[in-house]
Amino acid sequence: MDPIASLNPDPSDVFAPSGTPDTPARFARRFGFRFAFAYGLLASLPQPLSNVTQLEPLTNVYDRMWRALVPWVGRHVLGFSRDVAPSQSGTTDSAYDFVLLFCVVALSAVAALVWSLVDVRGERDAKLHGGLRIYLRYMLAMNMLLYGMFKIMMVQFPTPAIEQLSRTYGDSSPHSLMWAFMGYSTAYNVFVGGAEVLSGLLLFFRRTTTLGAMLVAAIMANVVVLNFCYYVGVKLFSAHLFSIALFLLAADARRLIDVFVLGRPAAATPQRPPFHSRRFERARLVLKVLYIGGSLVAAMSSALMIRKMRDSGSPARALAGPYVIESNAASAEVRTPPSDLVRWRTIIVGQHGSLVVKRDDGNMVRWRFKVDPEAHTLTLRPGMRDALPGGAERIVLHYERPDPAHLTIEGVLGEQRLALTLAKTPDPEFALTSYRFHWIQETTYND
């Protein structure tokens, strides 16, 4: 008995039996499956191989193939005036990623067309469908476990830090607003993360794949809409995971429509064990349990490692906090027109590498910074919206910590010499973080 064929829910529901006359409808179904097969592999690889360190040389070859092809297609086929390159900021929605998507779709369409014209009978399509379902549900399950654990451990959406709480709604990016909304509530993170972990676990088993895919589809539909509406840079990747859930549901589409739309009974999905031998069946179950357990441990370990790195005593965390400017020795050297430095009132040193400067008019400037505790330097870099004075790529300032309550910063900022003495102040109390849950609410707290 072929174990791959037996894992397919019911090939007769998806593919016409051999010998059926070829018609435009059958050709369209054959082309559609083969396009999905090629797209599913090209868009998903090198996962899950990328999670195995020993296979990194192999996955690097696959990555280098795309890095060579995508810029060529962007310039010579799509007419880009420059070579596109993968983003270094973590987004999957860069020009490179959209050209990559174009390449994947085009190659999948060509492969499906040639395959459909050459192999008209499609005798192996049912087996390939079963194998593709196994691969995609395990790949999707791993992603749901990972994202779920990241939410449960408050890694993906951490509690908003003081530099984020100090912004106004109007001064926040849509991305930052969504991250603050999610990070505010630990309970909501655990709820959403728990649902993602549950959906991933359901995908590991044939009997619960449809239920797991329905749960993933509901979760990922919401994620996709949030990513599009709040301009989060993982729109393509989240849409890809959503499409995989829909593909897993496609084989049971007729049964689902019968039950949920037409209100009539549906035949049960045939469930046959992959092996007749009890020995092989037991070995399969043991390996599956070990794999699922290892996947859970790997996802939890990744979340714990990132959380430990984030919460460790980093150099930036040692300086973090709100400061008021006690003195500015360089202010006497200000010439006409007046320097922006004299308008600085408070500085917030973020624990994750962001520096917020508040001016006397209430406006804020945000830069990124990196601390070198041995050289006692702060290296400023442009923020997402705010450039450094003079358009500089980086500015190195010297700092000292005379005592835990004070910080001095000296250097040249643009054309102005900087000599600040900062006094640390207590963290301000924000209404957002001070409010606590109440079962009974006589009035709606909506200020």
pLDDT attached to residue 404: 87
Q: Concatenated DSSP letters for 353-381?
A: SEEEEEETTS-EEEEEEEEETTTTEEEEE
* Cα 348 to the center of its chain, rounded Å: 28
CA-nearest of 238, 201, 211 to 222 is 238
pLDDT attached to residue 1: 35
Per-residue pLDDT for 6 more than 60?
Answer: no
What's the whole-number mean pLDDT along residues 96-122?
92
Per-residue pLDDT for 200 more than 50?
Answer: yes
| H-helix segments, 22-124 | 24-44, 56-76, 95-118
Convert 355-393 to b/e letters by CB count within 10 Å (16 or more is b).
bbbbeeeeebbbbbbebeeeeeebebebbeeeebbeeee
What's the whole-number mean pLDDT along residues 13-21?
53
Strands 354-359 and 344-349: antiparallel
For 409, residues 6+ apart whose C-beta sits below 8 A from its C-beta are 378, 397, 398, 399, 418, 419, 420, 422
* CATH class for the domain made up of 316-424: mainly beta
Number of helices and strands in the chain (H, E): 15, 8
For 202, residues 6+ apart whose C-beta sits below 8 A from its C-beta are 208, 209, 211, 212, 215
Can you read off the two tokens belonging to residue 423?
């006094």
Whole-number mean pLDDT of the chain? 84
Q: Please, which pLDDT band fits residue 11 given cuts at 50, 70 and 90? A: very low
User: How confident is the model over 25-75, as pLDDT tens digits?
Assistant: 888 888 999 999 999 999 988 887 666 666 677 788 888 899 999 999 999
Q: Please, which pLDDT band fits residue 20 given cuts at 50, 70 and 90? A: low
Can you read off the two tokens belonging to residue 191?
């709820």
Give the angle subtended at the CA of 223 by the CAs of 220 and 229, to the nearest 5°: 140
Residue 59 CA to residue 51 CA, distance in Å, equals 10
Residue 234 DSSP one-character state? T
- Look up the pTM and report it: 0.84
Can you read off the two tokens belonging to residue 160?
């908003």
User: How confident is the model over 289-325, as pLDDT tens digits?
Assistant: 888 888 888 888 888 888 887 766 567 778 888 999 8
φ and ψ at 202, to 5 degrees? Answer: -65, -30
pLDDT attached to residue 119: 86
Q: Is 201 helix (H, G, I), strand (E, B) or coil?
A: helix
* Cα 271 to the center of its chain, rounded Å: 35
> Which CA distances in Å does 182 have to 55, 311, 424?
35, 19, 29
φ and ψ at 108, to 5 degrees? Answer: -65, -40
| β-bridge mates for residue 420, sequence order | 328, 409
Q: Which long-range contacts (CB under 8 A, 24 or more apart) does 364-373 make?
A: 364/166, 364/167, 364/171, 366/163, 369/316, 370/316, 371/314, 371/315, 371/316, 371/318, 371/319, 372/315, 373/315, 373/318
Domain ranges of the chain: 20-120, 123-312, 316-424
Q: Please, which pLDDT band fits residue 342 given cuts at 50, 70 and 90? A: low
User: How confident is the model over 410-447, as pLDDT tens digits?
Assistant: 988 877 788 889 999 988 888 888 887 888 888 877 76
* Cα 357 to the center of its chain, rounded Å: 30
Pick 246 or 125 by higher pLDDT.
Answer: 246
The answer to whether 266 touches 259, Cβ cutoff 8 Å, is yes
Q: Please, which pLDDT band fits residue 10 given cuts at 50, 70 and 90? A: very low
pLDDT attached to residue 343: 74
User: How confident is the model over 143-164, as pLDDT tens digits?
Assistant: 999 999 999 999 999 888 888 8
φ and ψ at 359, to 5 degrees? Answer: -100, 170
Residue 332 CA to residue 343 CA, distance in Å, equals 13
pLDDT attached to residue 248: 94
Residue 347 CA to residue 355 CA, distance in Å, equals 7
> Which CA distances in Å does 167 have to 98, 102, 170, 173, 177?
32, 38, 8, 10, 10
Per-residue pLDDT for 5 more than 80?
Answer: no
pLDDT attached to residue 169: 83
What's the whole-number mean pLDDT along residues 112-124?
87
What's the whole-number mean pLDDT along residues 365-389?
88
For 146, residues 6+ apart whose C-beta sits below 8 A from its C-beta are 299, 302, 303
